[in-house]
Structure 1
Amino acid sequence: MRSTPLGTGTTPVTELSLGAAPLGNLFRPVTDEDATATVDAAWTAGIRTFDTAPHYGLGLSERRLGAALRDRPREQYTLSTKVGRLLRPRAEATGDDLADGFAVPATHERVWDFSADGVRRSLESSLERLDLDRIDIAYLHDPDDHAEQALSEAYPALEALRAEGVVGAIGIGMNQAEMPARFVRETDIDAVLLAGRYSLLDQRGLTELLPVAAERGVSVVVGGVFNSGLLADPRPGATFDYATAPDALVTRALELQAVCERHGVPLRAAALRFPFGHPAVASVLVGSRSAAEAADAALMLRIRVPDALWADLKELGLLAVDVPTPKEEY
C-alpha cells in the first residue's frame, strides 16, 4: 500500500489508516480476540498507519492496539494518539461509559487539559497503555471549547516534543473544519485529522481548510468518509454523524449509490477514493471493529473508480462542478 510523508516532515502514513475507536468498544463490545484479528487483517492488507486516543473506551483502545502491534517491527508502522483529555480514576466505578459512546465500565473520568503539563502527562500515560517507547503522531483532540489554551499552551508543548524527537509529527483532530483551518494558518503543525467533513455528502472541509492546508504544505487525514454509516449502507434509519439520518440525506445517499452501481462501483469504494481528489489529502482513516471490516476497506480502496462516475455525479448535481475528484489512474 502506498504511503506518503505528512506535511514537510518524514513521518509516513499509508493511504488507508485504521481507526481504533471501535476497538475501545464504541457503542457495543468487541472481544479482545476480535480486536487483535482486526489489527492483523489490517496489517495483512498493507495498512501501516494506526490511530487511537485515550478517549476511546477510557484507554481500552490504546491497550488493545498496543497489544495487537506488540510483535510487529516498530519501524514498519506509524501510530497516532491524541492529547487533551486526561483519564482520572474514579473512587467508585459504577455504571458504564455509554453516555460518551463506549461500552466499558466507568472506571475513569475524562478531564479536559490542554496545558503543557497535561500534554506531557497524557503522552506518558498513552505510552504506558500502548507499551511503546514513542508516539509517531500526536494530535490535539477536539479543542472546540479550549481553542486559546490549545493554541497558547498545548501546541507549543507538542512543538517542543517534536523538536526533541519525542514525537515525529503533530497536528489537530476534530469533527469541524473551521478551527483546524486556524491552526494551519497560525501554527506549524504537520497534519489535520478531519472527521466527517470531507465526504461525498459533506464537503465543508473544502471551504477553507483544504485550500489553506495545500498552500502551507499541511497534510490532511480524512476520517468519517462513510459519515458514520450512511455511505456504507444507505437506507432509512441509517446513521449520519452518529444520529439517524434525515430523509433528504438518505435520498441523496441512495442517488449516489445508484450512480455508482451504473458504473459497477460499490458506493463504499467511491466514498473511500473521493477525498484523494484534493492534493492536501494524504490518507483516509476508517474505523473497523472486525477483521472483515478492515479487509473490506482495503479491498474497496483498490477498486478503480472511473472518471465518468465523478462526471455523472456532477452532471446530476450530486457533487458541485468545482469539487476536485481523483483521476482514474490514481
Structure 2
Amino acid sequence: MRRNRLGSSTVEVTELSFGAAAIGNLFRAVDPAQVAAAVDAAWVEGIRYFDTAPHYGLGLSERRLGEALRGRPRDSYVLSTKVGRVLDPLPAGTAFENMSDGLSEGFAVPATHRRRWDFSADGVRRSIEDSLERLGLDRVDIAYLHDPDDHAEAAFHEAYPALEKLRAQGVIGAIGAGMNQTAMLTRFLRDTDVDVVLCAGRYTLLDQSALIELLPEAAARGRSVVVGGVFNSGLLADPRPGATYDYTAAPLALLDRALRIKAVTEGHGIPLRAAALHYPLAHPAVAGVLVGTRSPDEVRDAAALLRREIPDGLWDDLRAEGLLTEDGH
C-alpha cells in the first residue's frame, strides 16, 4: 500500500489507516478476539497506520491496540494518539453523570474514569505518559490535539508548545490537531509548526468546505492532511431514510444529494463507498484517509474499496451535475 510522508517529518503513513475508536466499544461491545482479528486483517492488507485516543472507551482502545500490535516490529507501523482529555480514576461504585443506556459518551465501557478536558502543558505530558503506559510503548509516532474547539487559548499557548518539546525529545515523531471543523485547523497550519492535521467530515463527496482554505493552506506550506469521516458517519455508506450525517439524522436535502451521487457512481459501475473513499486522496495535500473498523470483514472491505480503479469520467459527471465543486462551495 502506498505511503506518504507527513509534512517535513520522518513519519510516513499508509493511504488507508485503521481508526480504532470502534474497538474501544463505540456504541456496543466488541469481543477481544475480534479486535485481534481486525488488526491482523489490517496487517495482511498492508495497513500500517493505526489511530487511537484516550477518549475511545476510556483507554480501552489504546490498551487493545497496544496488545494487538505487540510483537510486531516497532519501526514497521505508525501509531497516533491524542491529547486534550485526561482520564481521572473514579472510586468504585461512583455514579457517572454521562452514562446513559450503559454508554460512557458513546462507549460501552464501565464508568471507571472521568474524562476531563486539559490542554495545559502538564495535562499534555500526563496524557502522553498515560497513553504510553496503556499502549505498552516508549514513543508515539503522531500526537494530535483532540477537539480543541472550545479550548483555543490553552491549545495554542500551552498544549502545542508542550507537544513541540516532546517532539524535540523524540517521544513524538509528528504533531498535529484533529477536529470536525476547518477554521481552527487552518489556524494551526498558519500559526504553528504542526506536521499534519486530521480533518473529519469536511472533505467528502457531500462537504468540500476544506477546499476553501484548509487544503490550499496545507499545500502551500508543505503540510499534510489526513481525512477522516469520509462516509459522513453513514450517509455516504448507505443513503436511505434514517441514515445519519455527522451523527444525527440526515436532512432530506442531503439524503437526496447523496442518492444523486450514488446514481452517478453506480452508473460507472462503482459503489458509492468506493468513490467516497477515493475522493479525498486525489488532493496533493492529503496523505491518507482514516476509516473506523471493528471487524476483519470491515477491514478487508475498506482495503478492497481502495483497490478499485475509479474512472475519471465519474468525477467529471459529478461536476457536470453540480454535485462536486472546485472551490468548496
TM over 0.5, yes or no? yes
Identity across aligned pairs (percent)?
Answer: 68
- Separation (CA, whole Å) in 2 of partners of 1:322 and 1:212: 13
After the TM superposition, which residues 274-285 of structure 1 pair with which residues of structure 2 at under 5 Å, given as runs?
A: 274-285=279-290
Secondary structure of 1:104's partner?
coil
Instruction: Confirm or deny that 1:249 pairs with 2:234.
Output: no
State the Cα distance separating 1:158 from its structure 2 match. 0.5
Deviation at 1:77, TM superposition (A): 0.1
Q: CA deviation at 1:160?
A: 0.9
- CA deviations on 1:52-103 (whole Å, 9 max, x unpaired) are 0000000000011011101211110000000000000112344646251111
Q: Please give the per-residue CA displacement for 1:155-177, whole angstroms capped at 9, x wherever unaligned.
A: 00111111111110000001111
Matched, 1:47 2:52: no
Q: Does 2:114 correspond to 1:114?
A: no
Q: TM-score, normalised by structure 1?
A: 0.96
Provide the residue aligned with 2:151 in structure 1: 146
CA shift for structure 1 position 265? 0.6
Q: Helix, strand or coil: the match of 1:158?
A: helix
Cα distance in 2 for partners of 1:228, 1:44 equals 26
* 1:207-251, Cα deviation, whole Å (9 max, x unpaired): 111111111111000000000111111111111111111111111
The aligned counterpart of 1:37 is 37
Partner of 2:215: 210
Specify the code of the residue in structure 2 equivalent to 1:107. T
- The correspondence for 1:167, drawn from 166, 169, 172, is 172
Q: Residue in 1 aligned with 2:23?
A: 23
- Structure 1 position 128 matched with structure 2 position 133: yes
Q: CA deviation at 1:203?
A: 1.1
SS of the aligned residue for 1:284 comes to strand
Contact 2:142 2:174 in 1 (8 A): yes
CA contact (8 A) 2:178 2:198 kept: yes
Q: Match for residue 14 of structure 2?
A: 14
TM-score normalized with structure 2 length: 0.96
The residue correspondences of 1:248-267 to structure 2 (distance < 5 A) are 248-267=253-272
Correspondent of 2:320 among 315, 321, 329: 315
Partner of 1:58: 58
Number of corresponding residues: 323
1:35 CA drift (Å): 1.1
Q: CA RMSD in A?
A: 1.1
Q: Tell me the alpha carbon deviations over residues 79-137 of structure 1, each in whole angstroms, 9 at most, x when there is no partner.
A: 00000000001123446462511111111101111111111100000011111111000
Q: Is the contact made by 2:139 and 2:170 (CA closer than 8 Å) also made in structure 1?
A: no
1:224 paired residue number: 229
CA contact 2:262–2:271 (8 Å) conserved in 1: yes
- Distance in structure 2 (CA, Å) of the matches to 1:260 and 1:188: 38
- 2:256 maps to a residue whose letter is T
1:25 and 1:130 map into 2 onto residues whose CA distance is 17
**SS of the counterpart of 1:111?**
strand
Contact 1:256 1:313 in 2 (8 A): yes
Counterpart Cα distance in 2 of 1:192 and 1:321: 21
- Indicate the SS of the match to 1:103: coil
Partner of 2:88 in structure 1? 88
Contact 1:234 1:253 survives alignment (8 Å) = yes
Aligned partners of 1:93 and 1:108 also within 8 Å = no
CA contact (8 A) 2:34 2:296 kept: yes
Q: Distance in 2 between matches of 1:106 and 1:177?
A: 32
Alpha-carbon distance in structure 2 between the residues aligned to 1:208 and 1:101: 31
Q: 2:240 aligns with which of 206, 230, 235?
A: 235
